[in-house]
C-alpha cells in the first residue's frame, strides 16, 4: 500500500484545498492529512481568528479524501510523522516549491499545482471585517499591546484616549493611528471594542460605560477588585450581547493551556496541591504599584496570575482562603494565600518588596508538574515521576510579549459570536475578584 501525507492549515476550507487533497489522494492508496494546530502556523505572521483546529479537522474529514487526520503541533514533526507512518510520498502545494526538498531523504516529495485565483487569504479579506479597537490608557502595558495586534488578523487599532492627552497624541504618532479622542465617550463612539489599560481602580467604571454602549471590552487584569462588580459587568455584557474578557496573558498562552489539559487528563493523578509564586523588586518606592491610594501592593498587582492555575485546576468552589501579608506604608509588599478545597490545599506567594522563586508546582498522586520561573511566561514545563525514566519535558515558543494570544482569543470571540472563553471563563474571573475583595476587606487576614 502506497501512503501519502500532506499538511495544511485548511482555514476557511475552499475549492483550492479540495483540489489539493484530491491530487494528493490520487498519488497513492492511503492519505494522511496533517492539520496545523491553532498556534503552530505562525509563518504567515498572523494568528487567525475564524476556524479553530477542531472545526478545520471536521471540514477536512467532510471532504472524504483523508483516510487519517493528525494534528501538527511542533517544528520537525513532518520527519517524525513520515517515519512513524511509513510514508512513501510527501505532497504539498507548489507555492512551497523547493522548501521541503530536505524530506527527500525520507520519502519522495511532490509539489502539487495549486488552483489559481483562490486562497484562504483572499477569502479572509473578502468576508472578514476589521474589529476597530479603541485603547484607553496609554502607559507601559498599552505600548506592549499595540505592536501585538499586528499579529492578529482582523484586529485594528482605531483610536487612543488618555486623561493626559499628550500621551495619547505621542502614542498615535508613534504607531501611525490617525484618531485621538478628546473624551472617553468620543473613543467609545468611534470603535467596535475597547481595550482598558488604565490603573486598577478605573477598570469598573470604564468597562461598565463601554458595555452599556454595547461595545466589546478586553480589560487588563485584575478585571476588578470586588466580586460583586465582576458579576455585574459579566451580566451586563450578556444582556447587551457583547464580549467581556479579562486580559490575563498567561490564560491564553498555548503552553499554559496544554499544561492544564494534560494535568486534567490525569497524567499525574489526583491533584492535592498547587503552589504558584511571583515576585518583583521595584527600585522606585513611589511608583503606582506601591501607592495605597491607587490599589498598589503585591496582591492587586500580581495576584491574578498565581490564582489562575489554582482556579483552572481546582475550580471555584473552595472552602476557605487564609491570607498572610507584610505591610509597608499600608500596602502589602508580600502576601501568602492558602486556599483550602475539599480534597486539596493550594497556596500562592506574591512579592513587590520580597523576592521568592517564581515557579509553579502541581502535586499529584502519581507525580508532579514543574514549571520554572517565570512560569507565567510559560514556554517549558516538566512532568516528573518517582521513576525518572518516565519524566517528560515539553518546550514551546513564547512569541513576542505574549499579548497576541489574548488579542486572538478576544477577536475570535467577537468574530465567531462566542460570548465567553473556555481559556478564562467568566466564573473564574469572578472567583479571582472575590478573593481580591476578601483581601481588601481583610477577612481571614493576618499581618506578619
Half-sphere CA count of 62, side-chain side, radius 13 A? 11
Are the C-beta atoms of residues 22 and 65 closer than 8 Å to each other?
yes
Among 35-39, 94-98, 283-287, 413-417, which is the least confidently predicted range?
283-287
Name the pLDDT band for 36 (thresholds 50, 70, 90): confident
Range scoring the smallest mean pLDDT among 120-129, 231-240, 259-268, 274-283: 120-129
User: How far is the C-alpha of 440 from the C-alpha of 397, rounded, in Å?
Assistant: 37
Whether 96 has a pLDDT exceeding 80, the answer reads yes
At the topology level, CATH places domain 124-248 in Rossmann fold (3.40.50)
Q: Best-predicted range by mean pLDDT among 31-40, 71-80, 115-124, 312-321?
A: 312-321
Which residue ranges make up each domain of the chain? 3-122, 124-248, 254-397
pLDDT confidence tier of residue 76, bands split at 50, 70 and 90: confident
CB neighbours of 384 closer than 8 A, spacing ≥ 6? 367, 368, 369, 370, 391
CATH for 254-397 is: 3.30.360.10
The per-residue pLDDT for 54 is 79
Pick 3-122's CATH classification: 1.20.120.140, 2.60.120.260, 3.40.50.2300, 3.40.50.620.
3.40.50.620
Query: What tens digit of pLDDT does each residue of 239-262 get?
Result: 999 999 999 999 999 899 999 999
Of these ranges, 6-20, 68-82, 377-391, the one predicted with the greatest mean pLDDT is 377-391
Question: Which pLDDT does position 43 carry in this prediction?
Answer: 46
pLDDT over 80 (residue 119): no
Q: How many CB atoms lie within 10 A of CB 438?
A: 20
pTM value is: 0.81
Question: Residue 319 has what pLDDT?
Answer: 98
pLDDT of residue 282: 73
Region 122-126: mean pLDDT is: 53
**Rounded Cα–Cα distance for residues 261 and 267 (Å):** 10
List, for residues 341-351, the tens digit of each pLDDT value.
999 999 999 99
Buried b (16+ CB within 10 A) or exposed e, 301-317: bbbbbbbbbbbbbbeee
Choose among 316, 372, 357: nearest CA to 339. Answer: 316
Question: Which DSSP string corresponds to 362-431?
Answer: EEESS-EEEE-SSGGG-SEEEEE-SSGGG-EEEE----TTSHHHHHHHHHHHHHTT--SBTTB-HHHHHH
**Do the first three CATH levels of 124-248 and 254-397 match, i.e. the same topology?**
no
Amino acid at each position: 500500500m502506497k501512503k501519502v501525507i500532506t499538511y495544511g492549515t485548511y482555514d476557511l476550507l475552499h475549492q483550492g484545498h479540495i483540489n489539493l487533497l484530491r491530487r494528493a489522494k490520487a498519488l497513492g492508496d492511503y492519505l494522511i492529512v496533517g492539520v496545523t494546530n491553532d498556534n503552530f502556523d505562525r509563518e504567515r505572521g498572523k494568528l487567525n481568528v475564524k476556524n479553530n483546529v477542531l472545526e478545520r479537522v471536521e471540514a477536512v474529514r467532510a471532504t472524504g479524501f483523508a483516510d487519517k487526520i493528525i494534528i501538527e503541533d511542533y517544528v520537525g514533526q513532518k520527519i517524525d510523522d513520515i517515519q512513524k507512518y511509513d510514508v512513501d510520498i510527501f505532497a504539498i502545494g507548489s507555492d512551497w516549491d523547493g522548501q521541503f526538498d530536505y524530506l527527500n531523504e525520507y520519502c519522495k516529495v511532490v509539489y502539487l499545482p495549486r488552483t489559481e485565483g483562490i486562497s484562504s487569504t483572499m477569502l479572509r479579506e473578502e468576508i472578514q471585517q476589521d474589529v476597530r479597537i479603541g485603547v484607553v490608557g496609554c502607559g507601559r502595558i498599552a505600548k506592549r499591546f499595540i505592536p501585538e495586534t499586528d499579529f492578529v488578523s482582523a484586529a485594528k487599532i482605531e483610536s487612543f484616549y488618555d486623561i493626559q492627552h499628550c500621551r495619547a497624541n505621542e502614542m498615535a504618532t508613534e504607531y501611525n493611528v490617525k484618531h485621538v479622542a478628546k473624551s472617553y465617550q468620543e473613543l467609545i463612539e468611534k470603535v467596535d471594542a475597547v481595550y482598558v489599560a488604565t490603573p486598577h481602580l478605573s477598570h469598573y467604571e470604564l468597562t461598565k460605560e463601554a458595555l452599556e454602549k454595547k461595545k466589546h471590552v478586553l480589560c487588563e487584569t485584575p478585571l476588578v477588585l470586588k466580586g460583586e462588580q465582576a458579576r455585574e459587568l459579566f451580566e451586563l455584557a450578556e444582556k447587551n450581547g457583547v464580549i467581556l474578557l479579562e486580559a490575563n496573558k498567561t490564560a491564553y498562552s498555548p503552553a499554559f493551556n496544554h499544561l492544564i489539559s494534560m494535568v486534567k487528563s490525569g497524567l499525574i493523578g489526583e491533584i492535592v496541591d498547587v503552589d504558584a509564586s511571583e515576585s518583583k523588586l521595584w527600585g522606585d518606592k513611589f511608583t503606582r504599584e506601591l501607592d495605597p491610594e491607587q490599589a498598589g501592593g503585591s496582591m492587586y498587582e500580581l495576584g491574578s496570575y498565581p490564582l489562575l492555575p489554582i482556579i483552572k485546576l481546582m475550580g471555584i468552589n473552595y472552602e476557605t482562603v487564609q491570607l498572610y501579608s507584610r505591610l509597608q506604608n499600608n500596602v502589602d509588599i508580600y502576601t501568602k494565600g492558602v486556599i483550602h478545597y475539599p480534597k486539596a490545599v493550594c497556596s500562592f506567594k506574591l512579592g513587590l518588596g520580597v523576592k521568592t522563586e517564581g515557579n509553579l508546582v502541581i502535586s499529584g498522586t502519581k507525580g508532579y508538574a514543574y514549571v520554572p520561573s517565570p512560569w507565567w511566561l510559560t514556554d517549558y514545563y516538566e512532568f516528573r515521576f518517582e521513576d525518572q525514566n518516565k519524566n517528560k519535558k515539553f518546550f514551546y515558543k513564547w512569541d513576542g510579549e505574549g499579548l497576541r494570544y489574548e488579542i486572538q482569543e478576544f477577536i475570535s470571540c467577537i468574530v465567531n459570536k462566542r460570548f465567553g472563553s473556555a481559556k478564562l471563563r467568566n466564573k473564574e474571573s469572578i472567583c479571582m475578584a472575590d478573593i481580591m475583595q476578601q483581601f481588601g476587606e481583610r477577612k481571614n487576614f493576618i499581618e506578619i
